[in-house]
Structure formats: structure tokens, C-alpha cells
Amino acid sequence: MIRFITIDDEPLAREGILLNAEEVDFLVPAGEFGNPVKANSFLQKNEVDLIFLDIQMPGMNGLDFLKSLKNPPLTILTTAHSEFALEGFNLNVVDYLLKPVRMDRFLKAVNKAAELFYAKKTTQQSEQNRSGTAVSNVFIKSNRKYIKLKISDIILIEGMKDYVMVHTENERHPVAMNLKTFTAGLPENTFARINKSYVVNVNHIREIADNHVKIGKENLSIGRSYKDDFLNNHILKKLIDRN
């Protein structure tokens, strides 16, 4: 989910953003503000992923406010004046919406924001994995939705031609990403590749015998070139030793 706030001195403009956001299941409103000063106080104490920011407001305009933030959230500018577009993009905003905001443009902007948000999450997860920091969840984009999964719930990942299928106990989630790229965002020793097409969560393995792995509802073969690395997985070895 993406938590957002709206900053605009026009109440009707804020209401319009909120009404559009109600139609998008991954957007969660966290607050609305009539000026940047009140929003700034909120941002100091609360985590926000996205700002819908008006440009022309009394006191401080939106661009000056954005420049004042040390680590600004993703930002979508909203304004009735197109002449500020270039300066806005120089500040690395996600998009620039002209009022009145049409729903098709709103969707295009928030989908772009979501792509950037979850790409950043994936990068952070990969960095945490490399540093040894515990990671308990992963975000995936499946069937045009962004889903947060517990890593412990993932049983296996199946590599298909143009995507992967993420298997949990009761669900299957297609993700438009190759197997190598997807698994790069997962804890290295919790998941092990057993053949060209499958990566498994070693904590869900029920049996290893005759070069096959029983996991979930599947009985999968262990590829010859993957066997040594798989059997030397240190979490798997701990589980075997424990039993």
C-alpha cells in the first residue's frame, strides 16, 4: 500500500484527489492540508510515500516547499498552470497533473508512482539481503495489483517463459519478471534453486529423496548442475541436522 497526502489550498481540489484515489486499491490517504507549513509538521512525525502537491499557494508555493525537504517522498504536482512543468521535472517529480484532473491521467500518474515505489522497495530488500538484515516481506506486482507477501508464506517460485509464478499455500501470483531477477530480492539462504525452472523455500520442504523434492503439492526433480549448491544450503543443512 502507498500512503499519500494532498497539499492544496483549494478544498475542492483536495476532495477531487481523494475521490479519484478511492478508485485505486493501493492508495491509502494519510492526510490533507491547505498549506505546506501544516504538511511539513505532519511529515516530520509520519511516514508518507507520496505527495499530491499544488504549486501556487499563499505563503509558500509547492516548488519551494519541495526544495525545502531533505528526503522528499514521491511527488505528483497538481496545478492549473502548465508553465511550471519543466521546473517540476527538474526536481524529479513523478508526474505533473493539470487541473481539473482527469481520471485517466490520474491513473497514469499513480501507476508510475507505484512502479517507482515498489522498485525502490525491491532494491532495499536486495540490499538488506546482502547486508544480512532480516527481511520478512516482499512486494510483488501481479495482475495489475501490488501485493505484500510474507516471505515465509512463499512455498516456491516457478520460472515460466516470460514471467514467474509465485506459489503460496492457497494462491498463485504471476509476476512479469524472470526467475533470476525476482529471486535477487529474496533472502539468499531461505530460497534455493533446484533446477532450471524452480526455486524453493527450504523451510517448506517435506522430503528429499531420489533426486526429488516434495514441497507443497509438488514433487520436483533436482537438476544435476544445481544439486551440490542446493544440498549445501546452510539453512537446509540446519533443518536436516535438527531432525
Question: What's the whole-number average pLDDT of the chain?
Answer: 86
- Are residues 140 and 112 both part of a single domain? no
The Cα 223–Cα 29 span in angstroms is 48
Return the higher-pLDDT residue of 131 and 111.
111
Asked whether residue 127 is domain-assigned, the answer is no
What confidence score (pLDDT) does residue 243 get?
Answer: 52
- pLDDT of 66 strictly over 60: yes
What confidence score (pLDDT) does residue 242 get?
Answer: 54
The Cα 74–Cα 88 span in angstroms is 12
The count of domains in the chain is 2
Asked whether residue 113 is domain-assigned, the answer is yes
- Are residues 236 and 148 both part of a single domain? yes
* CATH (domain of 71): 3.40.50.2300
Asked whether residue 130 is domain-assigned, the answer is no
CA-based end-to-end distance of the chain: 39
- Are residues 107 and 139 both part of a single domain? no
Mean pLDDT of 39-58: 92
Residue 141 cell numbers, joined: 506486482
- Are residues 174 and 86 both part of a single domain? no
Handedness of CA 143, 146, 152, 156 (dihedral sign): positive
The Cα 147–Cα 47 span in angstroms is 19
Asked whether residue 157 is domain-assigned, the answer is yes
- pLDDT of 132 strictly over 60: no
Residue 67 cell numbers, joined: 526544495
Q: Is-cis flag, bond preceding 36, omega within 30? A: no
User: Strands, E, within 88-201: which ranges?
Assistant: 95-98, 137-142, 145-150, 156-159, 164-167, 172-175, 191-193, 198-201
Cα–chain-centroid distance for residue 166?
15
- Phi then psi for 152, rounded to 5 degrees? -65, -20
Which of 119-146 are b and which e, b meaning 16 or more Cβ less than 10 Å from the residue's Cβ? eebbeebbeebeeeeebeebbbbbeeeb
- Are residues 110 and 145 both part of a single domain? no
User: Domain range spanning residue 167?
Assistant: 135-242
Query: What contacts 98, CB < 8 A, 6 or more positions away?
Result: 79, 80, 82, 105
What confidence score (pLDDT) does residue 120 get?
Answer: 78
Residue 120 cell numbers, joined: 525502490
pTM of the entire predicted model: 0.59
User: For 139-185, how does the pLDDT look when each residue is reduced to its tens digit (9 = 90+)?
Assistant: 888 887 888 888 899 999 999 988 999 999 999 999 988 888 888 77
Asked whether residue 129 is domain-assigned, the answer is no
What confidence score (pLDDT) does residue 124 get?
Answer: 62
Mean pLDDT of 72-90: 78
- pLDDT of 131 strictly over 70: no
- pLDDT of 199 strictly over 60: yes
Residues in the chain: 243
Choose the final residue of a domain: 64, 90, 119. Answer: 119
